[in-house]
């Protein structure tokens, strides 16, 4: 994918900010700032330039040139990942407050240990800011105004990141003496694409021992609140975790309550009331007698409902459907037969096609589609006709050596600004599968962007629209597009849309999935893997598909290769 100069510059500035917050070497910080300015003001798109050309620009050495290239093609910089791990999202949020630059954010941290907006608010309200050297009352007032305006929001955490943090935390908790049941609840369990905080529900023989283990966990920065049955901690990376310890006979109702959503809970409580019962986190009661609540299953059953999977608990009609025994059989990772969006080191991936195929096979798949970039993505070393033709021969040879596994010949072809494709039909029509994607001109007005996509789909060789909104969660908004028109257009032409399983993409989202399902349009769930482990992102895509009520039949890649190929035929 191709990233605009402005976006690359913003990333470079972010690195400079984070380095500055960490009080890194000022020459290093300055180098990133200078590079950001240069790239931002540069006449040509850096995505079209080679390393060596960038290297020649004033103040940009080979190392920085390499990083710019990576950013310009939508790649991740390990340095940025590392900085983001070290500097908490809370601190990053502070940078957005008017009057606070990286130097002052660093000072706030040094002087008062401030690393979240909440703590800053506290300190400002207590009049502690103006004493910090270089702050003064004027700045204190300015900051307080900005905070009061409510414009400063804490970013939500990606589900994949939350998982990396919550799973080890829960494992640690299980080692407390007397643990009986424990689960991560909240939006995490409902598999929302981002979470505000983590909620954990536990049943144990001794509350005391669980609380002790929880609050002394090594990643805890601060115990915000601790009582006999509940505690809240803030982890070093800024994420909050709420813990509730409940008696075993209340575990199911507590798990249900803290899984939410709030709207779903309210509906459940209404149903209880209609039956003359009382429902809360302690159980379902008739008068003073508890009649359910040890398990969630028993709770739903007693309310006259089928068990509702957490992903559906959003008060989007799931309760009526559960009452009428018409819940969907949600798609699961087990249903997935193959991955239809996979890159290799022929372009910007990190493994060979043989390695990617072996890794897919090890996951129990029957096929993968090799979808490297097309020539337009110069710096991703996109394929031209000749190289694609050579890759197709290589795939034939690889397939000859594989038994019971198919490597599909495919491409992720760029949809150019006018809706034409980046490679000629003559070669595209020889492929098993063509996925098309937008990697440039995200700024087109909605009508133009929509028509650009529909025009691309007019081509008989076009099969699947990849990452259909182009968004990156917390980083880049979706481009303007009439999704309903695109979906209808796909249906009419016999093409499909992709749900991209990269944790920061996850487009299509849950609502889009429901829209597609309502029209009878099938979706592909694909990982866009650039390395073997990324094939494992499939489950994040499946999570969103489940939130969108999709069943196996609604998903393209839940069937063996022959069925798949006949569905793809236009």
Residues engaged in binding ligand DGT (CB under 6 A): 186-187, 192, 195-197, 199, 257-258, 260-262, 265-266
Nearer to Ca ion, 187 or 237 (CB): 187
Query: In whole angstroms, how close is the CB of 193 to ligand DGT at the nearest point?
Result: 10
Nearer to Ca ion, 199 or 339 (CB): 199
Burial zone of 202 (CB within 10 Å; 0-12 exposed, 13-18 middle, 19+ buried): buried
Q: What residue is closest to ligand DGT based on CB?
A: 260
Please tell me what DSSP assigns to residue 454. H
Let me know: does 535 contact 561? Beta carbons within 8 Å: no
Question: Could you give the CA distance from residue 20 to residue 29 in angstroms, rounded to a whole number?
Answer: 6
Sign of CA dihedral 509, 515, 516, 517: positive
Nearer to ligand DGT, 260 or 468 (CB): 260
Which SS3 state, helix, strand or coil, does residue 114 take? coil
Count of chain residues binding Ca ion (CB under 5 A): 5
Query: In whole angstroms, how close is the CB of 188 to ligand DGT at the nearest point?
Result: 7
Query: In whole angstroms, how close is the CB of 257 to ligand DGT at the nearest point?
Result: 6
Nearer to ligand DGT, 157 or 463 (CB): 157
Residue 245's DSSP bridge partners are 202
Q: Per residue, what are the HEC states of 228-265?
A: CCEEEEEECCCCEEEEEEECHHHHHHHHHHHHCCHHHH
Nearer to ligand DGT, 124 or 195 (CB): 195
Query: In whole angstroms, how close is the CB of 538 to Ca ion at the nearest point?
Result: 24
Nearest of 522, 420, 518, 513 to residue 469 by alpha carbon = 513
Nearer to Ca ion, 67 or 313 (CB): 313
Nearest of 158, 93, 101 to residue 121 by alpha carbon = 93
Residues 163-222 that bind Ca ion (CB under 5 A): 186-187, 197, 199
Question: Could you give the CA distance from residue 268 to residue 303 in angstroms, rounded to a whole number?
Answer: 8
Nearer to ligand DGT, 257 or 537 (CB): 257
Interface with Ca ion, residue 242, by CB under 5 A: yes
Nearer to Ca ion, 186 or 419 (CB): 186
Q: How far lies 468's CA from each of 5, 26, 156, 348, 449, in Å? A: 22, 41, 22, 20, 11
Among ligand DGT, Ca ion, none, the one that 258 touches (CB under a kind-dependent 5 to 8 A) is ligand DGT
Among Ca ion, ligand DGT, none, the one that 183 touches (CB under a kind-dependent 5 to 8 A) is none
Query: In whole angstroms, how close is the CB of 185 to ligand DGT at the nearest point?
Result: 7
Question: Could you give the CA distance from residue 94 to residue 108 in angstroms, rounded to a whole number?
Answer: 10
Stretch touching Ca ion by CB under 5 A, among 240-248, 441-449, 509-517, 561-569? 240-248
Q: Per residue, what are the HEC states of 473-484?
A: CCCECCCCCCHH
Among Ca ion, ligand DGT, none, the one that 215 touches (CB under a kind-dependent 5 to 8 A) is none
Question: Could you give the CA distance from residue 517 to residue 391 in angstroms, rounded to a whole number?
Answer: 35
Which residues neighbour 53 within 8 Å (Cβ) at sequence distance 6 or greater? Answer: none
Among Ca ion, ligand DGT, none, the one that 249 touches (CB under a kind-dependent 5 to 8 A) is none
Nearer to Ca ion, 193 or 335 (CB): 193
Among Ca ion, ligand DGT, none, the one that 32 touches (CB under a kind-dependent 5 to 8 A) is none
Residue 241's DSSP bridge partners are 198, 233
Stretch touching Ca ion by CB under 5 A, among 106-114, 153-161, 238-246, 504-512? 238-246
Query: In whole angstroms, how close is the CB of 312 to ligand DGT at the nearest point?
Result: 13
Query: In whole angstroms, how close is the CB of 165 to ligand DGT at the nearest point?
Result: 14
Query: In whole angstroms, how close is the CB of 115 to ligand DGT at the nearest point?
Result: 20
Sign of CA dihedral 388, 393, 396, 398: negative
What string marks each residue from 269 to 308 as x (binds Ca ion by CB under 5 A) or -? ----------------------------------------
The binding site for Ca ion (CB under 5 A) comprises 186-187, 197, 199, 242
């Amino acid at each position: 994918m191709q990233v605009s100069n402005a976006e690359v510059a913003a990333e470079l500035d972010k690195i400079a900010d984070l380095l500055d917050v960490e009080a890194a070497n000022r020459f290093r910080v300055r180098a990133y700032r200078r590079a950001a300015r240069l790239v931002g003001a540069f006449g040509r798109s850096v995505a079209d330039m080679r390393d060596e050309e960038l290297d020649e620009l004033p103040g940009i050495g080979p190392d920085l040139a390499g990083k710019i290239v990576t950013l310009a093609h939508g790649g991740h910089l390990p340095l940025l990942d590392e900085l983001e791990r070290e500097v908490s999202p809370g601190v990053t949020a502070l940078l957005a407050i008017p009057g606070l630059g990286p130097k002052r954010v660093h000072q706030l941290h040094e002087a008062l240990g401030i690393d979240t907006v909440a703590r800053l608010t506290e300190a400002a309200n207590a009049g502690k800011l103006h004493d910090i050297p270089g702050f003064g009352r004027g700045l204190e007032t300015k900051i307080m105004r900005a905070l009061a305006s409510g414009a400063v929001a804490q970013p939500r955490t990606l589900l994949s990141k939350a998982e990396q943090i919550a799973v080890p935390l829960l494992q640690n908790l299980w080692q407390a003496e007397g643990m009986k049941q424990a689960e991560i609840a909240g939006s995490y369990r409902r598999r929302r694409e981002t979470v505000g905080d983590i909620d954990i529900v536990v049943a144990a023989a001794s509350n005391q021992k669980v609380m002790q283990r929880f609050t002394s966990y090594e990643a805890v920065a601060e115990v915000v609140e601790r009582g006999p049955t509940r505690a809240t901690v803030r982890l070093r990376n800024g994420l909050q975790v709420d813990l509730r310890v409940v008696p075993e006979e209340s575990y199911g109702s507590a798990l249900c309550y803290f899984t939410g959503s709030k709207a779903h809970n309210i509906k459940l409580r209404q149903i209880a009331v209609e039956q003359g019962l009382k429902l809360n986190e302690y159980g379902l009661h008739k008068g003073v007698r508890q009649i359910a609540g040890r398990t969630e299953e028993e709770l739903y059953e007693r309310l006259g409902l089928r068990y509702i999977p957490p992903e559906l608990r959003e008060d989007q009609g799931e309760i009526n459907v559960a009452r009428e025994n018409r819940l969907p059989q949600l798609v699961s990772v087990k249903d997935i037969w193959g991955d239809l969006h996979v890159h290799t080191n022929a372009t910007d991936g990190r493994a060979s096609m043989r390695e990617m195929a072996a890794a897919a096979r090890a996951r129990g798949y029957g096929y993968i589609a090799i979808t490297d970039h097309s020539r337009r993505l110069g710096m991703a070393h996109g394929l031209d006709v000749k190289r694609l033709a050579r890759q197709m021969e290589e795939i034939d040879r690889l397939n000859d050596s594989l038994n019971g596994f198919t490597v599909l010949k495919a491409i992720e072809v760029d949809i150019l600004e006018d809706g034409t494709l980046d490679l000629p039909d003559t070669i595209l029509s020889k492929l098993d599968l063509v996925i098309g994607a937008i990697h440039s001109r995200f700024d087109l007005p909605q009508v133009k962007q929509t028509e650009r996509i529909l025009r691309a789909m007019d081509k008989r060789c076009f099969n699947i629209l990849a990452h259909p909104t182009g968004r990156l969660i917390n980083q880049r908004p979706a481009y303007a597009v009439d999704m309903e028109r695109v979906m209808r257009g796909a249906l009419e032409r016999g093409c499909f849309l992709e749900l991209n399983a990269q944790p920061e993409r996850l487009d299509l989202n849950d609502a889009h999935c429901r829209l597609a399902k309502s029209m009878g349009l099938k979706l592909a769930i694909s990982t866009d893997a650039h390395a073997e482990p990324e094939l494992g992102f499939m489950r994040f895509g499946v999570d969103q598909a489940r939130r969108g009520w999709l069943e196996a039949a609604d998903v393209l890649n839940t069937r063996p290769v022959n069925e798949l190929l006949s569905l793809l035929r236009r």
